[in-house]
């Protein structure tokens, strides 16, 4: 688990790329500059870790593109101490970003293999989410609700109702909605039954899977 000057230099270049694409939140940029993304990937992908691209990880899943991670995180407006839920732990990279921002992070993953790998790996890097859960993100995590923000890191064919209902009033749900291509969507809960919807550009994610093992 080496993090060399070369890696650090490449990481600063990546921060520049993400900034040029329109990310302005300094805390998010700082997190990307700090987290050793190459360690979240297979060693065979080392050279690719600091390109602004998604890459394969275990169980046919992907680590999201850094710009996408930054874009979604910026929309969440995380403050230190926020209660945050992530659906799709995957490599744990997004989880690490949320930890860097000082959030209390709960994260759900439905692939057992990834859940096991990432549960062991994150603490080794010093990241301690409140809880990593092996389960189905469509249900959210009612025991720790309500959340200041919820992020879904897989393409959702529809917006799962439990995620809406587990948001605090004032809370934010960031979710890519669609089948083959997804529209990044932000819901802000304005009242018990009142949600404001904002749509952003198109993104591509692996699917948020339901009822499959
Ligand atoms: N945040 C991750 C992205 C991983 S890709 C990262 O940066 O590495 C999306 C992840 O969502 C995959 O790991 C996939 O297994 C997971 N996923 C898909 N459907 C899910 C569901 N219903 N509940 C929880 N996780 C799910």
Residue 91 alpha carbon, nearest atom of ligand 1: 8
Alpha carbons 146 and 189: distance in angstroms, whole number: 11
In a domain, 14, yes or no: yes
Secondary structure class of 188 (helix, strand, coil): strand
In a domain, 92, yes or no: yes
Surface-to-core class of residue 5, CB atoms within 10 Å of its CB (0-12 exposed, 13-18 middle, 19+ buried): exposed
pTM of the model: 0.97
Please indicate whether residue 54, judged by its CB atom, sits closer than 6 Å to ligand 1: no
Which residue segment(s) compose the domain that 30 sits in?
Answer: 5-203
Alpha carbons 53 and 66: distance in angstroms, whole number: 7
In a domain, 210, yes or no: no
Alpha carbons 129 and 15: distance in angstroms, whole number: 24
In a domain, 150, yes or no: yes
Q: What is the pLDDT along the chain (213 residues), one digit of tens a residue?
A: 789 999 999 999 999 999 999 999 999 999 999 999 999 998 777 778 999 999 999 999 999 999 999 999 999 999 999 999 999 999 999 999 999 999 999 999 999 999 999 999 999 999 999 999 999 999 999 999 999 999 999 999 999 999 999 999 999 999 999 999 999 999 999 999 999 999 999 999 999 998 754
Most distant CA pair in the chain, distance: 51
In a domain, 32, yes or no: yes
Structure tokens at 161: 């109702």
Residue 89's domain is classified under what CATH number? 3.40.50.150
Tell how far the Cα of 196 is from the centroid of ligand 1, in angstroms.
25
* C-alpha separations of 186 from 71, 93, 138, 163, 176 in Å: 11, 21, 17, 12, 9
In a domain, 211, yes or no: no
Residue 69 alpha carbon, nearest atom of ligand 1: 7
Please indicate whether residue 93, judged by its CB atom, sits closer than 6 Å to ligand 1: yes
Alpha carbons 167 and 169: distance in angstroms, whole number: 6
Please indicate whether residue 118, judged by its CB atom, sits closer than 6 Å to ligand 1: no
Substitution candidate for ligand 1 out of 32, 62, 89 with most atoms within 8 A of CB: 89
**Overall number of domains in the chain:** 1
For residue 64, indicate whether it is catalytic: yes
**108 touches 43 (CB < 8 A):** no
In a domain, 91, yes or no: yes
In a domain, 213, yes or no: no
Which of 76, 68, 74 is CA-nearest to residue 150? 76
């Amino acid at each position: 688990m080496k993090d060399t000057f070369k890696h650090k230099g490449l990481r600063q270049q990546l921060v520049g790329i993400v900034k040029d694409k329109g990310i302005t939140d300094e805390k998010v940029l700082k997190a990307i500059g700090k987290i050793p993304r190459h360690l979240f990937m297979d060693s065979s992908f080392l050279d690719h870790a600091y390109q602004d691209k998604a890459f394969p990880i275990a169980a046919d899943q992907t680590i999201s593109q850094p710009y996408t991670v930054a874009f979604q995180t910026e929309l969440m407006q995380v403050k230190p101490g926020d209660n945050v839920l992530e659906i799709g732990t995957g490599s744990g990279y997004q989880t690490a970003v949320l930890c860097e921002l000082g959030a209390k992070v709960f994260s759900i993953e439905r692939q057992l293999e990834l859940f096991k790998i990432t549960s062991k790996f994150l603490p080794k890097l010093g990241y301690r989410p409140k809880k990593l859960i092996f389960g189905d993100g469509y249900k959210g995590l009612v025991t720790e609700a309500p959340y200041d923000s919820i992020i879904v890191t897989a393409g959702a064919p529809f917006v799962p109702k439990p995620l809406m209902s587990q948001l605090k009033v004032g809370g934010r749900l960031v979710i890519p909605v669609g089948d083959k291509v997804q529209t990044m969507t932000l819901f802000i809960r304005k009242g018990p039954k009142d949600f404001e919807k904002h749509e952003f550009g198109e993104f591509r994610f692996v699917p948020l899977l339901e009822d499959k093992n």
